[in-house]
Copies of this chain bind each other. A is one copy, B any other.
Amino acid sequence: MSASFDILGIGNAIVDVIARADESLLGRLALAKGSMTLVDTARAESIYAAMGSGTESSGGSAANSCAAAASIGARVAFIGQVANDQLGQVFGHDIRAAGVAFDTPAAAGGPPTARCLILVTPDAQRTMCTYLGACVNLAEAAIVPERVQASRVTYLEGYLFDPPAAQAAFRKAAGLAHQAGRLVALALSDPFCVDRHRAAFRTLVADEVDILFANEAEILSLYQADRFEDALAAVRAETRVACLTRSEKGSVVVTPEQVIEIAAEPARVVDTTGAGDAYAAGFLAGYTAGRALAACGKMAAIAAAEAISHVGARPQADLRALVARI
């Protein structure tokens, strides 16, 4: 069946608040550098009060991937829950302006649109504190079957396992995709997130995931492995394709038949926020366009290099032009 969309992303609809921070601030706030911590309203307020002047921009892991994939030229849709407030309007505007179809109705009441407080330290590492807000109300009803059925790949972010109601939405989407003969992709998102939901992720990866994205810490956590090689062997037995990213060491695209090493693209690293999201975008844009796996990995590396070369997670350059040389 022909598809209306190459990629349907489903994830937390979040507005990022990005500020530069000293290492010492992470210590005072007891935050583990490079991680994503879930925070409640009170903790979000106290962290925000301690943060410097910020810039706001639309974020969310799968949403970032959707914006980047659309910038490459893929046909993309997104499902995620915002509230009917100013930040929800910002999120909706930005993802539509990126060329992504987005029509999940904003929640009329309940908590406000989600925010992710991002502290960028001088080493360009990002440390995130997420207030899930309206995302906790993403419900099964938001998963429009026709949209899943009409998308080549349904791409889910692991962070979506945190808001409890979203897990059901997550499983519904995966089920619908497979019933329609479509693919399911999953990004593991964060090692602590994997830790929180390891059993569920293991089942999902073994039973439902066709394309998996994980960085080194995440794949080690998933299989509780000590060595990268052991985790690679484990994932290889379970998924059609796994993309394992290793920052400046590049990435490895793994299938039951092949292990393809992809070099990292050179980049002046300013802010690593969104690097993994951009990687997934590049890979899926290539994959759904029928490109060879090595080319998909190269497109992924180019998109990731663009993402880390500036503050903020969404692309600022014309990704279509950047990947055209592949």
The answer on a CB contact under 8 Å between B54 and A94 is yes
Q: Which of A51, A55, A94 has most B Cβ within 10 Å?
A: A55
Per-residue CB contact flags for chain A residues 145-174 toward chain B (1 = under 8 Å, else 0) read 000000000000000000000000000000
- Asked, given contacts A67-B53, A86-B87, whether A48 binds B93 with beta carbons under 8 Å apart, the answer is yes
Interface residues of A in 4-25 (CB under 8 A from B): 17, 19-20
Interface residues of A in 27-57 (CB under 8 A from B): 48-49, 51-57
- Asked, given contacts A86-B86, A86-B87, whether A97 binds B52 with beta carbons under 8 Å apart, the answer is yes
Q: Report how far A21 CA is from B90 CA in the complex, Å.
A: 17
The 4 closest A-B pairs by CB, nearest first: A56-B56, A53-B94, A55-B57, A53-B97
- How many Å from the CB of A69 to the closest CB on chain B? 14
Q: List 27 A-B contacts (CB under 8 A).
A: A17-B90, A19-B97, A20-B316, A48-B93, A51-B97, A53-B58, A53-B67, A53-B93, A53-B94, A53-B95, A53-B314, A54-B57, A54-B90, A54-B93, A54-B94, A54-B97, A55-B55, A55-B56, A55-B57, A55-B312, A56-B56, A56-B57, A56-B90, A85-B86, A86-B86, A86-B112, A86-B113
Q: Which of A17, A51, A86 has most B Cβ within 10 Å?
A: A86
Q: What is the size, in residues, of chain A's interface with B at 8 Å between Cβ atoms?
A: 28
The answer to the question of A98 belonging to the interface, with a C-beta cut-off of 8 Å to chain B, is: yes
- How many Å from the CB of A177 to the closest CB on chain B? 27
- Chain B neighbourhood of A67, CB < 8 A: 53
Q: Report how far A94 CA is from B56 CA in the complex, Å.
A: 11
- Chain B neighbourhood of A95, CB < 8 A: 53
- What residue in chain B is nearest A15 (Cβ atoms)? B56
- Chain B neighbourhood of A93, CB < 8 A: 48-49, 51, 53-54
Q: Report how far A67 CA is from B52 CA in the complex, Å.
A: 12
